[in-house]
Amino acid sequence: MKNAIGGVELSSMAKGFEAADAMLKASSVELVLSRTICPGKYAVLVAGDVADVRASVEAGVARAAESHVDSFLIPNLHPDVFPAIAGTSGVSKLEALGIVETFSIASLIEAADAAVKAASVKLIEVRLAMAMGGKAFVTFTGSVADVETAAMVAAASAGEKGLLVQKVVIPQPRPELLTELI
């Protein structure tokens, strides 16, 4: 059962490919993402059950060696986070809009998970550090009260690590914004 996500961020793209291979060989996980990210780093994300993801991340960290920048494991990830990472969440109506921006992939995925667990919001997208100077952001929609709660919880999650860039709540966004978000 796919209920955990983990990842390794590296300072070397070459070591990134090597770490990705080691992670996939270490256990039965699904590759979520394996690519270069800004600024000049490489990220590998995998999903699966907690034990497999843990083994995979440990193998990636070991292979990364001196190129290891960061790694993480989130057990019991909310199921809405996976489609938001893939950009397939399928939101067709925009209510209040929440945006939380962070300085890292790990802090953003943790913030998105916290947001969707804290309030009745629908994740729109989890955008991960590509062409954004290494930053990442999550967008979500719901009632104003739920979006405010989710944004506060997500911002607190990222803020604990000093990785929050900004949080914004737009109570009545123009409908045209939805086309820019999906």
Q: Give the Cα separation of 12 and 22 in Å (integer).
A: 15
Cβ neighbours of residue 114 under 8 Å, at least 6 residues apart?
A: 153, 154, 156, 157
Q: Give the Cα separation of 78 and 35 in Å (integer).
A: 23
CB 115 within 8 Å of CB 150: yes
Give me the pLDDT at residue 87, please.
81
Statement: residue 173 has pLDDT above 90: yes
Query: How high does pLDDT run on average in the chain?
Result: 92
Give me the pLDDT at residue 182, please.
58
Q: How many residues does the chain have?
A: 182
CB 97 within 8 Å of CB 167: no
pLDDT confidence tier of residue 179, bands split at 50, 70 and 90: confident
**Domains of the chain, start order:** 4-74 (3.30.70.1710), 81-181 (3.30.70.1710)
Cβ neighbours of residue 93 under 8 Å, at least 6 residues apart?
A: 141, 178
Give me the pLDDT at residue 170, please.
97
**What is the token pair recorded at 55?**
């083994």
What percent of the residues of the chain are helix, what percent strand, and what percent coil, each to the nearest 5?
40, 30, 25
Reported as a single tens digit per residue, the pLDDT across 2-21 is: 899 999 999 999 999 999 99
pLDDT confidence tier of residue 139, bands split at 50, 70 and 90: very high
Average pLDDT over residues 173-178: 85
